[in-house]
Amino acid sequence: MIKVSRISKRFTSYHSPADRLKEKIFRKKYHRDIIALENVSFEVKAGETLGIVGQNGAGKSTLLKILSGILLPDEGSIEIDGKITGLLELGTGFDHELTGLDNIFMNGTFLGMDKNEIERKKNAIIDFTELGNFIYEPIKTYSSGMLMRLAFSIAMHAEPKCFLVDEALSVGDVYFQQKCMRKILEFKNSGGSIIFVSHDMNAVKTLCDLTILLDSGCIVSYGKPKDIIDHYHGMILKKSHLGETEVKISEKKDLMGPQESKVSTEEVELLSFKILDLTGKEMTYVESEKVITIKYRVKALKELSDPHFGLHIRNRLGVSVFETNTYCMGEKTFPLKKGQVAELKWELDLLLSAGNYSFSVGVANKGYGRDAFEEYLFLAHDVKVLEVIPNSSSIVYSGIFNMKPKVTVQEELLEQISHY
């Protein structure tokens, strides 16, 4: 369990170390204040995973360093019950002249394990790394992926109550990343708390129970991963937006207020959104592998020279299943005058596996390049939710969607066998 209250951290940037002394002697300010964190508070309960997202420079790494005790905050307090282990950057305290095995002992000691504990867990740690005999080689011969494997294995086996993971996991091949994810889930299930800093939005959506969005040292929003990441994307879109009108972001608020999160310049309005079956009736659930029709109407509140309309389908965790727009599809649209309404009709063969899916709508103007727009006018997440139920006359499968496989099984003839 971690409880963080009103943490603030300011870095003082001096032009030269001598200025620091000058300040103490002459009592005049010789430094520049950089506010890294301001008034940050949150709580992570046992077994919970907290994600922290934000742009580079938002304060994420500083926050992790304060949590692991490497930096001291200017204000605020931290309550942690139990050991906290961080995986900040690769090779924490590794000595590159020593072998992997020696570093297990050294790093293990730094992470709070005593000699007997490390001796006991030594084999488990080595097995997890899958480094084989490389464990006896000096780590200066290791690749960054191998270093990560070693670092992660040691950190995990230190059995902390709380585990801090920084971008370190982005190095390493897919196989090992997945192995780490599985181990992290095991850790979660045994009651450990995790604080996870990442730019991999899908990983955050899948692993985290709650997420914090940091921007310039402040918590901008704090809530369910899907909503926070939507907000984050809204912020990024806002920065990519080249139009004149400012993009406004509205958050999804629990219970009260709008039930969808929206990013909008308020130059277009979504009038209606319907999901219809073949007979034109509105549906809330549908069998998989049926054709559905989506109709939505958009009203232009200003003149749009080259408007394009998009559709985005996401699963219950907010992970994107499919998204595209008229520009990416190569469809020509026509300019809209102020006050005009465009009606969009989408037809989709919904091959998705059973589950809950949400539909989002986007409107943008003036496309360029492969998939970019000059003006991002509107993005509404989760406008409608649709439940997809299994199709009884289809095959049994699991995964994201039905790839409609064809398979043949033949008996092998005896002549072919004798060739081997």
Which of 115, 182, 338, 404 touches other proteins by CB under 8 A?
115
Q: Smaller CB distance to other proteins: residue 88 or 180?
A: 88
- Quick one: CA torsion of 376, 377, 380, 383, rounded to 10 degrees? -130
Looking at beta carbons only, is 19 or 130 nearer to other proteins? 19
* Residue type, position 100, single letter: G
Which span (47-55, 91-99, 252-260, 396-404) binds other proteins, by CB under 8 A? 91-99
3 state SS of 119: helix
Least distance from C-beta 109 to other proteins, angstroms? 6
Crossing angle of the two packed helices 100-110 and 115-129, in degrees rounded to 10: 130
DSSP string for residues in 226-248: HHHHHHHHHHHHHHH--SSSPPE
Query: Which residue lies nearer to other proteins by CB, 154 or 350?
Result: 154
DSSP of 360-373: EEEEEEEEETTTEE
DSSP lists the bridge partners of residue 308 as 364
Q: What is the largest CA-CA distance in the chain?
A: 97
Tokens of 351: 């091959």
Considering beta carbons, is residue 157 or 262 the nearer one to other proteins? 157
What are 33's two structure tokens? 């204040």
Structural tokens at position 233: 């994307």
Beta-carbon contacts of 86 under 8 Å, excluding residues fewer than 6 positions away, are 64, 67, 68, 70, 92, 155, 163, 164, 166
Q: Is 74 in the site for other proteins (CB under 8 A)?
A: yes
Q: How many residues bind other proteins (CB under 8 A)?
A: 27
Q: Among 363, 356, 367, 351, which Cα is nearest to 404's?
A: 351
When asked if residue 79 is in the footprint of other proteins (CB under 8 A), the reply is no
Question: Which residue from 154, 153, 152 is spatially nearest to 112, judged by alpha carbons?
Answer: 154
By the rule CB under 8 A, 88 interacts with other proteins: yes
Question: 190 Cβ partners below 8 Å, 6+ apart?
Answer: none
Tell me which of 41, 55, 92, 353 binds other proteins, using CB under 8 A.
92
Tell me if 346 contacts other proteins by CB under 8 A. no
Does 35 participate in binding other proteins (rule CB under 8 A)? Answer: no
**In the complex, least distance from residue 381 CB atom to other proteins, rounded to whole angstroms:** 38
- According to CB under 8 A, which one of 26, 27, 114, 411 is a site residue for other proteins? 114
3-class SS letters over 263-311: EECCCEEEEEEEEECCCCCECCEEECCEEEEEEEEEEECCCECCEEEEE
Confirm or reject binding of residue 98 to other proteins (CB under 8 A): yes
Site string for other proteins, 127-166 (x = CB under 8 A): -----------x----------------------------
34 is an interface residue for other proteins by CB under 8 A: no
Task: Compare residues 8 and 324 and give the one whose CB is closer to other proteins.
Answer: 8
Strand-strand pairing, 31-44 and 341-350: unpaired
Choice between 88 and 364, CB closer to other proteins: 88
By CB under 8 A, residue 97 contacts other proteins: yes
Q: Name which of residues 44 to 73 contact other proteins (CB under 8 A).
A: 68-72
Q: Is 21 in the site for other proteins (CB under 8 A)?
A: yes
Question: Per CB under 8 A, does 319 bind other proteins?
Answer: no
Site string for other proteins, 368-397 (x = CB under 8 A): ------------------------------
Among 11, 42, 222, 346, binds other proteins (CB under 8 A): 11
Q: Which residues pair with 373 in a beta bridge?
A: 367
Spatial strand order of the sheet with 31-44 comes to 31-44, 2-14, 75-80
Closest approach, Cβ 60 to other proteins, in A, equals 16
Q: CB-wise, 68 or 211, nearer to other proteins? A: 68
d(CA 263, CA 253) in angstroms, rounded, equals: 14
Q: Which residues bind other proteins (CB under 8 A)?
A: 11-12, 17-18, 20-21, 68-72, 74, 86, 88-89, 92-93, 95, 97-98, 106, 109-111, 114-115, 138
